[in-house]
Amino acid sequence: MIEVLLLAVALSMDAFAVSIGLGSKQEKAKLTGLAVKAAIWFGLFQGLMPLIGYMAGHGVLGWVEAYAPWIAFGLLALIGAKMIYESFGEGVEEDIVSTSNRVMLMLAIATSIDAMAAGFSLTLLEVNAWLACLIIAVTTSIFSWIGVFVGYRSGTRLESRAELFGGTVLILIGFKVLLF
């Protein structure tokens, strides 16, 4: 279960980073509404995407079972490396002027695509995938909620650190899947 909690925290770091960026540009009067919106959109998609990845991985597991740890390691390492790389660049939320539902949908999809690939690793962990995805969704919701307020208070200086942390944790989980 520790792996699921670490995976949940690592996967939520993209949404957390975007929430920080969104909060840094928001007026104080609109913070709570944005925090609720971010928590719902990011939590929902971050919980659904790994479930899709799990189901796809479960469907092909029989064909690639001997290579599954290597595939999971490769996917987690690539996702982690991508997050670490993105931590050194500008966030997508810099160009966003409104937080309409359409914009939030696009951000939720963009931040959760990686979670679909990470969902494949759930086939190798001895956990209930539904429970794992619920934990990922709730964790992401909490981090997204907090991220809006952190962004309002601190600006974007913590944004890149969140992505760097998340990427590092994903790579470490990949090694754990491969070696144990």
Which stretches within the chain are classed as H helix? Answer: 2-24, 31-64, 68-86, 101-119, 129-154, 159-179
Render pLDDT for 77-91 as a digit per residue (tens, 0 to 9).
888 888 888 778 765
DSSP state of 66: G
Tokens of 154: 């601190």
Q: Are 107 and 41 in contact (CB under 8 A)?
A: yes
Percentage of the chain surpassing pLDDT 90?
28
Render pLDDT for 123-157 as a digit per residue (tens, 0 to 9).
877 789 999 999 999 999 999 999 999 988 887 67
Name the strand (E) or helix (H) holding 93: none
- Above 60 in pLDDT, residue 93? no
